[in-house]
Amino acid sequence: MKRFWSHAVAVPRPEGGHAVLLDGRPLRLPGGAALATDRAVLAEAIAAEWQAAGGEKGGEMTLEAVPLTRLLGTAQDRIAADPSAMVAGLAKYAETDLLCYRAEDAQLAAEQAREWQPLLDWAAETHGAALTVTAGLMPVAQPAASVDALRGAVAAHASDELAALGLAVPALGSLVLALALSAGRLDAAEAHRLATLDEILQEQRWGTDWEAEQRRARAAADIGLAERFLALVRA
């Protein structure tokens, strides 16, 4: 779309919170509501991405240029009124968490155990969610109490935090890693490294897969964005 504004600024709202104005007009979501946040730093970051998007008035831009806006819009438009669907969707990942599936190759399995088990131990200690580990790709049933405990950990997040988890969990393939990211137990780079441990070790043996490399780059960007958004909504 073409950039139709010259200046984007963050401003306090008379009713509380902060909004973003494009040439004095409120930035609105597709449903018509004005985008709003309680966090001044998030409003300022969103204003900055709109100020940069498209270069100058009349320039071309895409929604990829305003990722913070998209996340806050998701939280405001799709999650805030009823978070239950998002909570349930994210909690499903506890049933097939990446960290529970170890390789049949002994060397790779040993590396996975060394790198992944501390995170599973953290989930058990912090959330009361002990998960079952298996070898191979055949599904393993997880204890219902553990899945429920992780669902509760997800539900404890506010709607804007859930929007960030909604980006991070699929990118990581692991609810445990995403919760550790949210809790500050891991940063985005380390979470991504752990999530791609298998691929990296395989490429060290057999060489680089260009498509896998591109996929990892996209996942890394999503995880980094989720981390940044969490920091802004908690500032």
pLDDT value for 213 = 85
First and final C-alpha spacing in the chain? 32
pLDDT value for 125 = 98
Spacing of C-alpha 214 from chain mean position:
18
pLDDT value for 191 = 98
Domain-by-domain residue ranges, the chain? 8-66, 84-233
pLDDT value for 6 = 96
| Fold match flag (8-66 vs 84-233) | no
Instruction: Determine contact, residues 162/215, Cβ cutoff 8 Å.
Output: no
Q: What is the CATH number of domain 84-233?
A: 1.10.3580.10
pLDDT value for 199 = 85
pLDDT digits (tens, 9 = 90+) for 128-171: 999 999 998 889 999 999 999 999 999 999 999 999 999 999 99
Please enumerate in sequence order all residues whose Cβ is within 8 A of that of 32, keeping only pairs 6 or more positions apart, or say none: none
pLDDT digits (tens, 9 = 90+) for 7-30: 999 999 999 999 999 999 999 998
pLDDT value for 201 = 79
pLDDT value for 31 = 87
Residue 119 phi, psi dihedral angles, 5° rounding: -75, -40
pLDDT value for 66 = 98
pLDDT value for 162 = 98
| Burial label, 2 (beta-carbon count in 10 A; 0-12, 13-18, 19+) | exposed
pLDDT digits (tens, 9 = 90+) for 189-226: 999 999 999 888 777 777 777 787 899 999 999 999 99
Amino acid, single-letter form, for residue 187: D
pLDDT digits (tens, 9 = 90+) for 81-135: 999 999 999 999 999 999 999 998 888 999 999 999 999 999 999 999 999 999 9
Could you please report the per-residue DSSP string of 83-101?
THHHHHHHHGGGGG-GGGE
pLDDT digits (tens, 9 = 90+) for 38-93: 999 999 999 999 999 999 899 999 999 999 999 999 999 999 999 999 999 999 99
| CATH 3.30.2180 assigned to 8-66 | yes
